[in-house]
Structure 1
Amino acid sequence: MRVCVLTDKPDHPLLAETAAALTGARHRVTFLDPDAGTASPSQAVGPDELADVYLLKAHTPRALALARFLEGLGARVVNSAAATELCQDRSRIAAVAEDAGLPMPRTWTLNALSEALHGPELPESGYPLMVKSRHSRRVDLVARVDGPAGLRALAAEWSEEPVVLQEFIANSGWDHKLWVIAGEVFAGVRPAAVGAPPGGARPAPLVRDLPRAWTRLALRTGDVFGLDVYGVDLLDREGAPLVVDINAFPGIRGPKGAREALAALALKCPGPRGPGRPAVSSSSRRR
């Protein structure tokens, strides 16, 4: 079987270990950086050169364009270009989650952060609030703002940045991260990037058996967003899990069994389906 990974980081531990496992099982694994060179997606691969499955780890505009081109040729892409692109837009994530009844913080979208300086655009919940770039990328804006002075300072640096404002959810200082690969849930904790209460360094909490409500929410999130490989960041609000972030094909590090699950997913994906036929993700087939 031929597996191609679309990424600019072939040395990422999960990708490298998965490639080694597949290669050891006599499958062929190649890496393709969608942002290398200046050639158009149509010049990257021909219809007779399609891999059996493409793992879309890169999320750049060129990567998405290449994924859409490959899907047009009949290639299987995990996650799909449409699902990956959706998860790059925090405003669309909030809208889809609300329509599906997924619990998320209340979210407001602004065309530019400078608009937040004009009172009516501020959430009724007031401060503190989270300010995030609308479009997720490697170097984007994620900050907690505690009052008007902090908002003005942030707007001075990011004035024209399209953003979402979210109600702030008090947390323990740790993000609970659930990673899902083809329906198998892995868990970990990471220090919260922002919003952690004072108190200095603390030992990371142990991840034992997850509450069923958390795993159910993680799996339902994948179904709603059409994802096969993804991450969900959860916070506990009054005993119930709340989704605060969704990432298509995140950098999963640490959990045992992740590379085996990703290799198994790649091998379960059928080969090229031929142009003109709709793609069906494995998450859709689980339903």
Structure 2
Amino acid sequence: MNRVVVLTDSRYLGQRMPGALIEALRARDMPAVSARADRLVAEVRAEEGTAPEPVWGMRRALPALRPGDLVVPRTRNAFALSLLAQAQLRGVRTVNRWEAVQAVRDKPYAVLLLARAGVPTPRTFLADRPGALAGLPGAVWPLLLKPPYGDNGHGIVRVDSPRELERLPWSEGMVLAQQYVDVAGVDVKLYGAGERVWAVRRPSPLLAPAEEWPEPVPLPVTRELRTLALACRDVFGLDLYGVDVLPSPDGPLVVDVNDFPNYTGIAEAPDVVADLVESRLTEVVHP
């Protein structure tokens, strides 16, 4: 029987996802297992027929993957993503695909894809280092400086003037800078699973760590928000995704896209995600 393997790592064990998805799948008597990538070791070797190489764990081995299996990654772990790529190379189906996860993790590449697709974002600049931004016109300040591989708002710095760049500690190499948009400390999070889209209002991640946020408030999904969410989905080829949006006076602006979010505040999300995973697992794949 084909199985669902949820590829994750230790830091997600205390979060809602992927645990809620695994519970929803098992409630349907579907064979679903989790694998913690930070406890695994994989051997790289030449192909031996169609059999996948073994992956050993500190406690137990990851079940050998077969082409009919389905891998669902909820991880930012570089090693886990290499396992995801390995699975795809061997014909295992995935939700999301390695290429999509890599694209949203690489923030400079992501903003280039969004711009090419015409997705509205704040004014955005890329530079080799923060100091190179000093010559930007006064009208674009303040700026939010973002690391090239950011995660959940970590490493974002607000800079109000070119002078602040002179004493700014920055160890991230290149920088992505976006014009600061004042939304009174509240932004919108869009969640998507296939064709389903949800929206919530929440405090800006710039104000406090995520673990200190109150429960988000559900919002109606307007046609504009749905169009924006699906556009971001299609730009990256994602199945499970989140979109961070600023409700600016000139319309919603996308400031980040991520893969397999936590779906915080969306009670029905685990079952909807399980529906998508089940349909993908059982679909007939033609050679």
- What TM-score bracket applies, with the shorter chain setting the length? 0.7 to 0.9
- 2:254 pairs with 1:254: no
Deviating more after overlay: 206-215 vs 258-267:
206-215
The secondary structure found in structure 1 opposite 2:252 is: strand
**Pick from 150, 164, 180: which aligns with 2:176?**
164
Structure 2 CA distance for aligned equivalents of residues 160 and 12 of structure 1:
27
Structure 2 CA distance for aligned equivalents of residues 20 and 134 of structure 1:
34
Decide whether the 8 Å contact of 2:200 with 2:219 is kept in 1: no
How does 1:95-114 map onto structure 2 within 5 Å? 95-114=112-131
Structure 2 CA distance for aligned equivalents of residues 69 and 34 of structure 1:
13
Amino acid at match of 2:5: C
The secondary structure found in structure 1 opposite 2:140 is: coil
| Percentage of identical aligned residues | 30
**Pick from 7, 11, 14: which aligns with 2:17?**
14
Amino acid at match of 2:29: R
Unaligned runs of 5+ in 2: 45-52, 56-61, 209-213
Decide whether the 8 Å contact of 2:54 with 2:64 is kept in 1: no
Structure 1 CA distance for aligned equivalents of residues 39 and 88 of structure 2:
20
Amino acid at match of 1:85: Q
Partner residue, 1:2: 3
Partner residue, 1:36: 39
Structure 1 CA distance for aligned equivalents of residues 17 and 65 of structure 2:
29
The secondary structure found in structure 1 opposite 2:105 is: coil
**Are the structure 2 counterparts of residues 220 and 30 from structure 1 closer, same or farther at C-alpha, using a change threshold of 3 Å?**
same
Structure 1 CA distance for aligned equivalents of residues 157 and 107 of structure 2:
14
Structure 2 CA distance for aligned equivalents of residues 4 and 125 of structure 1:
50
Partner residue, 2:48: none
- 2:78 pairs with 1:67: no
Partner residue, 2:111: 94
**Are the structure 2 counterparts of residues 10 and 108 from structure 1 closer, same or farther at C-alpha, using a change threshold of 3 Å?**
same
**Pick from 128, 132, 156: which aligns with 2:146?**
132
**Pick from 163, 181, 189: which aligns with 2:193?**
181
After TM superposition, the score normalised by the length of structure 1 is: 0.82
Decide whether the 8 Å contact of 2:243 with 2:256 is kept in 1: yes
- 2:144 pairs with 1:144: no
Partner residue, 2:50: none
Write out per-residue CA displacement over residues 94-117 of structure 1, whole angstroms, 9 at most, x where no aligned residue.
11111111111222112333444x
Equivalent residues, number? 266
Structure 2 CA distance for aligned equivalents of residues 83 and 95 of structure 1:
14
**Are the structure 2 counterparts of residues 185 and 49 from structure 1 closer, same or farther at C-alpha, using a change threshold of 3 Å?**
same
Amino acid at match of 2:164: G
Structure 1 CA distance for aligned equivalents of residues 178 and 250 of structure 2:
20
Deviating more after overlay: 160-169 vs 243-252:
160-169
Deviating more after overlay: 6-15 vs 259-268:
6-15
Amino acid at match of 2:266: P
Decide whether the 8 Å contact of 2:202 with 2:216 is kept in 1: no
Structure 2 CA distance for aligned equivalents of residues 25 and 210 of structure 1:
29
**Are the structure 2 counterparts of residues 100 and 123 from structure 1 closer, same or farther at C-alpha, using a change threshold of 3 Å?**
farther
Decide whether the 8 Å contact of 2:147 with 2:174 is kept in 1: yes
**Are the structure 2 counterparts of residues 18 and 37 from structure 1 closer, same or farther at C-alpha, using a change threshold of 3 Å?**
closer
Greater RCO between the two (CA within 8 Å, min separation 6)?
Answer: 1
Amino acid at match of 2:16: P
User: Deviation of residue 133 (structure 1)?
Assistant: 0.3
Unaligned runs of 5+ in 1: 197-202, 278-287
Decide whether the 8 Å contact of 1:53 with 1:272 is kept in 2: no
Decide whether the 8 Å contact of 1:75 with 1:271 is kept in 2: no
Structure 2 CA distance for aligned equivalents of residues 236 and 3 of structure 1:
37
Partner residue, 1:223: 234
Structure 2 CA distance for aligned equivalents of residues 256 and 204 of structure 1:
12
Decide whether the 8 Å contact of 1:52 with 1:272 is kept in 2: no
The secondary structure found in structure 2 opposite 1:86 is: helix
Structure 2 CA distance for aligned equivalents of residues 272 and 135 of structure 1:
34
**Pick from 204, 207, 212: which aligns with 1:192?**
204
Decide whether the 8 Å contact of 2:5 with 2:34 is kept in 1: yes
Structure 1 CA distance for aligned equivalents of residues 207 and 159 of structure 2:
9
**Are the structure 2 counterparts of residues 35 and 223 from structure 1 closer, same or farther at C-alpha, using a change threshold of 3 Å?**
same
The secondary structure found in structure 2 opposite 1:259 is: helix
User: Deviation of residue 18 (structure 1)?
Assistant: 1.8
Decide whether the 8 Å contact of 1:14 with 1:258 is kept in 2: no
User: Deviation of residue 207 (structure 1)?
Assistant: 3.2
After TM superposition, the score normalised by the length of structure 2 is: 0.82
User: Deviation of residue 161 (structure 1)?
Assistant: 2.9
